[in-house]
Amino acid sequence: MAKRTVKNLPMNPGPAGWNEILGPAPHYPEADGTMSADWLIIGGGFTGLSAAKRLAELRGGDEIILLEANQIASGPAGRNSGFMIDLPHELGDDGYTGAVDADIKQINLNRHAQAFVKENAAQYDMPDEAVNAMGRVNGTVNASGKAHNDAYADHLDVLGEAYRHMNASEMREMTGSDFYSSGLYMPGAIMLQPALYIRALAQGLVHKQAHPLKLFEQSPAISFEQQGDSWLVETPKAKIKAKTIIMAVNGHAESFGFYKNRLMHVFTYASMTEALSDAQQKALGGEKAWGITPSDPMGSTVRRHDGIGGNRIIVRNRWTFDPSMAVSDARIKAFGRDHDKSFTNRFPQLGDVEMAYRWSGHLCLSRNSVPAFGELETNWFSACCQNGLGTAKGTLAGIGAVDLATKANSPIVQDLLSYDQPVKLPPRPLSTIGANLVIKWREFKAGAEL
Ligand SMILES: Cc1cc2nc3c(=O)[nH]c(=O)nc-3n(C[C@H](O)[C@H](O)[C@H](O)COP(=O)(O)OP(=O)(O)OC[C@H]3O[C@@H](n4cnc5c(N)ncnc54)[C@H](O)[C@@H]3O)c2cc1C
């Protein structure tokens, strides 16, 4: 087959606070020259690095190369809000839930992903803040949000899952804010410092395995072709021959020519404060670290984090549909004003606190909320499109792609192969206009929770 080119390379708009506060990152070399390997993983996020870890477990002696287009932890995996959620959390559904059997299966899988991440943290000696099993709260501000939470709690009763209702004063004790009228605490969520976890996982794979991963940064795959029973993948400076490819590039599967017009490229936006001074922390009160998801999926995610880089608050909200896979600095600035408003509404006592970092990040959703997973061509495996929940689903997809390729018939493979393929989107520009209108309408409905 002829050589195929990769049409679009990833861009990461704005400096991601989580990565910036860690200070300079370890650098890995750029791929250069001619190389060969048993396995080539493309993409160094949750999915690609989990695939590398799973390969180290199952095929310890094999040669494994991983290509990352940019720098490890500078992409979506290091710029998300870090909620690794065990319970149903379907972003496309107003109530986050699905059918009971499907939810039970998903909870078990998500917990498998959590256990995998915890094992990685222990094996590679990660600091506690990288993977913190502290649970999360679904915060509400009004009767309709409370109704969402009550319905969710009823569903958790059916599933036999633990939770605790919190009233306004308990919410204030935790957050220091009068903003929330109630909340639903769910103990099973893990809160990641996403950039720290991703950096430490890469470091562990390169420096703490008997047979180290060969990791290359600033090394985008730009073309590929089948040659006999192998694949030849080119970067700007290297040619890499590998028997098996694991494509772990999330929405960029489409840039490789797969799933054409079947993946939705969505961006969401975040701001992180400067480190709070002792006086500011005193004025705020509350606990030093917590995580709040909104009861309406279109509301604001808010976290307080304590660790390297100090004590900070992070606000994430707003969504846009951008098939171009790019957003402008002007957009980040404009949505930054929304973050400021959300911040002031919650923390009027912190009027003098400035935002230190503002950024955006690319998520891949499919219209029918399914992954883009499977063997697409001989020995070319896709582990893409995590539907906005990549901390858990990307971890699972990375493990699952390796299990599928090595013919380990695990429950993860059975699950990932049980879904339909992502359905086609309406033709552009109809899909762009339609999707942005739906987003605006849903954001409008979430109004008070923004
Ligand atoms: C602001 C924000 C908040 C979020 N909050 C959460 C949250 O709280 N919980 C949650 O579960 N999810 C959250 N998400 C989503 C989550 O970040 C993604 O689902 C997750 O990062 C997907 O993991 P991944 O490894 O599949 O893909 P990515 O993290 O996108 O990694 C793919 C990697 O592939 C690389 N790549 C792409 N093309 C090439 C190429 N040609 N050659 C080489 N490398 C390439 C990219 O540079 C990238 O590093 C959030 C996302 C954003 C942006």
Domain extent for 114:
4-449
Please indicate whether residue 298, judged by its CB atom, sits closer than 6 Å to ligand 1. Answer: no
Ligand 1 centroid–CA 257 distance in Å is 19
- Residue pair 44/202 in contact (Cβ under 8 Å)? The answer is yes
Please indicate whether residue 9, judged by its CB atom, sits closer than 6 Å to ligand 1. Answer: yes
Reported as a single tens digit per residue, the pLDDT across 39-86 is: 999 999 999 999 999 999 999 999 999 999 999 999 999 999 999 999
Structure tokens at 12: 């990461």
In 3D space, the residue among 196, 215, 276, 191 whose CA is nearest the CA of residue 19 turns out to be: 196
Average pLDDT, the chain: 95
**CATH value at residue 216:** 3.50.50.60
Distances (CA, A) of 395 to 48, 58, 103: 8, 16, 18
pLDDT band at 134 (very low <50, low <70, confident <90, very high): very high
The predicted model gives 195-201 an average pLDDT of 98
What confidence score (pLDDT) does residue 42 get? 99
Reported as a single tens digit per residue, the pLDDT across 141-174 is: 999 889 989 999 999 999 999 999 999 999 999 9
The pLDDT of residue 98 is above 90: no
Please indicate whether residue 89, judged by its CB atom, sits closer than 6 Å to ligand 1. Answer: no
The predicted model gives 384-410 an average pLDDT of 97
- Reduced DSSP (H G I as helix, E B as strand, rest coil) percent helix, strand, coil of the chain, to 5: 35, 25, 40
Of 138, 252, 321, 416, the residue with max ligand 1 atoms within 8 A of its CB, to mutate for a pocket test, comes to 252
Ligand 1 atom nearest 46 alpha carbon: 25
The pLDDT of residue 99 is above 90: no
Domain total for the chain?
A: 1
Ligand 1 centroid–CA 211 distance in Å is 26
Please indicate whether residue 297, judged by its CB atom, sits closer than 6 Å to ligand 1. Answer: no
Ligand 1 centroid–CA 331 distance in Å is 20
DSSP string covering 188-251, please? T-EEE-HHHHHHHHHHHHHHSSSS--EEESS----EEEEETTEEEEE-SSEEEEEEEEEE--GG
What confidence score (pLDDT) does residue 151 get? 92
What confidence score (pLDDT) does residue 95 get? 57
Structure tokens at 400: 């699952």
Q: What stretches of 43-181 adopt beta strand conformation (E)? A: 64-67, 83-84, 131-132, 136-140, 164-167
Ligand 1 atom nearest 361 alpha carbon: 53
The pLDDT of residue 304 is above 80: yes
Q: What is the model's pTM?
A: 0.97
- Residue pair 449/295 in contact (Cβ under 8 Å)? The answer is yes
**DSSP at 70:** S
Ligand 1 atom nearest 220 alpha carbon: 42
What confidence score (pLDDT) does residue 360 get? 98
Question: How many alpha carbons fall within 13 Å on the CB side of residue 143?
Answer: 0
- Residue pair 313/276 in contact (Cβ under 8 Å)? The answer is yes
Structure tokens at 259: 């799933």
